[in-house]
Amino acid sequence: MTRLDPAVRRALARIGFYTFIAAITAFFALPMLWLVSAPFDATPGLTPSWPDFSLKNFRALRDNPYALRSLWNSVLIAGGSAVLAVVCGALAAYSLSRVRIPGRDGLLYVLLLLSSIVTGTAAMVPIFLLMFQLNLIDSRAGVVLVLTGGLLPAAIFILKDFMDATPRSYEESARVFGASPLQILRHIVVPIVRPGLATIAVWAVVNVWGNFLIPFILLLNPDKQPAAVVMRTFYTEGGQPNLALISTFSLAYSVPVVVMYLFVNRRYGFRFHGGIKS
C-alpha cells in the first residue's frame, strides 16, 4: 500500500477525530435532549423536538398530589442522612485520627471492605426483614438510618484523611494554654474542618438523592416516598404516561443534584469518585 502524503494522512486523522467526537456527542446528548425540551413544550411527545414554548406543563407538578410532596421527602431523607452521616462520621473520624485506638488500621480496612460488599442489592433481603421486625417499615427515619449506615464507612474514611492532614499543633497549642478537650473541639477543630464537613454533607446528599432501591422496598405509602420512587410510578402506571408531569418532574428532580455535584466537583475534584488521588 502506498504511503499517503503526510498532509493527507493528517487531514484524514482530523476528519476521523471529529467524526468520532461528533458521534460520541450525539450518543450522549440525544437521550438527554428530551429532558431539556419536553418540560417547556406545550405539546410534549416522546421525541424531543423544538419546543412550542410554554410553561404550563409545570402546573402538572402542582396538580399531582404526590409530585411536590415526594420532592420534599427526597429533601428530608437526603438531608437527614447527610446530617447523621456528618455528625457520626466526624466524631468517629476525629477520634480515629487523633487517638491511637488498638486495631485502628485494621478497623478502617474492614469498614472499607464492608461498604463495598454490603450493597443495597446484596442486603435488600436482610434489611427488609430487619426493618420489618423493628417495625420501621414505611418509616422515612428508617430509610435514613439504613442509608446512613451505608454512607458512614466512606464518610469516616474521607473525613479521617481530612483530619490527618490538619496539623495537630493547633490543638496542642490550645491544650498548653489550658483548654479542655471539649473547648478544643468547639473553638479549634470544628471551625477548621468545617469545609470538609460541608463537602461530605453535599456528597451524602448527592448519593442519597438518586437512591431508588432502599426507599422502594421500605416505604409503602406514596405520601412518604421520595422522588426516585414516585417518579417510577408516573411512567409505569397503566394508560398513557402524563408527559407533562414526567418531564417537569424529571427536571425538577434532576436540577438540584446537578448543581450540588458541580459544587462538590469544584471543591474536591475527582477525589470523590474513587480512583486516583491527585
Partner 1 sequence: MADLTLTGLSKVYPGGVRAVDDLDLSVVDGEFFALLGPSGCGKTTLLRTIAGLETPTTGRLSIGDRDVTGLSPGRRDVAMVFQDYALFPHMTVQDNIAYPLRIRGVGRAQRHDQAAQTAAGLSLSTLLERRPAELSGGQQQRAALARAIVSRPALFLFDEPLSNLDARLRLEARTFLKRLQRDLGVTTVFVTHDQAEALALADRIAVMEAGRIRQLGTPKQVFHRPANLFVASFIGSTPMNLLPGTVAGESVRIPGGAVRIPAAARGLVTDGDEVVFGVRPEYLTLSGEPAGGAIAGTVAIVEDLGTASLVSVEVGDVTVAVTVPEGAEPDIGADGWLTPAPGRALLYRAGAGDLIAAPAADAPAEPAAAP
Partner 2 sequence: MATATSPPPDLAVAPEPEPPATRRAAPTDVAGLGRGRAVAFVAPALALIAAFLVFPAVWTLYLGLTNYRLTGKAAKAPELVGVDNYTNALSDGRFHNALGLTLLFVFGSAIIGQTILGFTLAWTLRTARGWVRGLVEALVLLAWILPSSVVAFLWIAFLDRDSGTLNAILGTSGKAWLVNHPMASLIVFNTWHGTAFSLLLFGAALRTVPPSQLEAARLVGASTFALLRDVVFPHVRGHLLTNTLLISLWTFNDFTPYLITAGGPERHSETLPVYIYNTAIFDGQLGYGAAISLLMLLINLVIAMFYLRLLRERR
| Near partner 1 in 161-200, by CB under 8 A | 167, 169-170, 172-180, 183, 187-188, 191-192
x/- map, 201-230, partner 1, by CB under 8 A:
------------------------------
Question: Considering CB distances under 5 to 8 angstroms, the limit depending on partner class, which of partner 2, partner 1, none binds residue 176?
Answer: partner 1
Cell of 62: 402542582
Q: How far apart are CA 41 and CA 34, in angstroms?
A: 10
In whole angstroms, the minimum distance from the beta carbon of 271 to partner 2 comes to 6
According to the binding rule CB under 8 A, does residue 7 interact with partner 1? Answer: no
Question: Considering CB distances under 5 to 8 angstroms, the limit depending on partner class, which of partner 2, partner 1, none binds residue 114?
Answer: partner 2
Q: How far apart are CA 92 and CA 212, in angstroms?
A: 28
Classify residue 4 by its DSSP letter.
P
In whole angstroms, the minimum distance from the beta carbon of 186 to partner 1 comes to 12
Question: Considering CB distances under 5 to 8 angstroms, the limit depending on partner class, which of partner 1, partner 2, none binds residue 191?
Answer: partner 1
- Please tell me the count of residues contacting partner 1 according to CB under 8 A: 17
In whole angstroms, the minimum distance from the beta carbon of 88 to partner 2 comes to 4
| DSSP 3-state of 46 | coil
Mark 113-146 as b/e (b = at least 16 C-beta within 10 Å).
Answer: eebeeeebeebeeebeeebeeeebbbbbebbbbb
Classify residue 138 by its DSSP letter.
T
Cell of 237: 402506571
In whole angstroms, the minimum distance from the beta carbon of 178 to partner 1 comes to 3
Q: Look up residue 228 and give its amino acid.
A: A
Q: Which is nearer to partner 1, 183 or 233 (CB)?
A: 183
Q: Which is nearer to partner 1, 27 or 177 (CB)?
A: 177
CB atoms closer than 10 angstroms to residue 43: 12
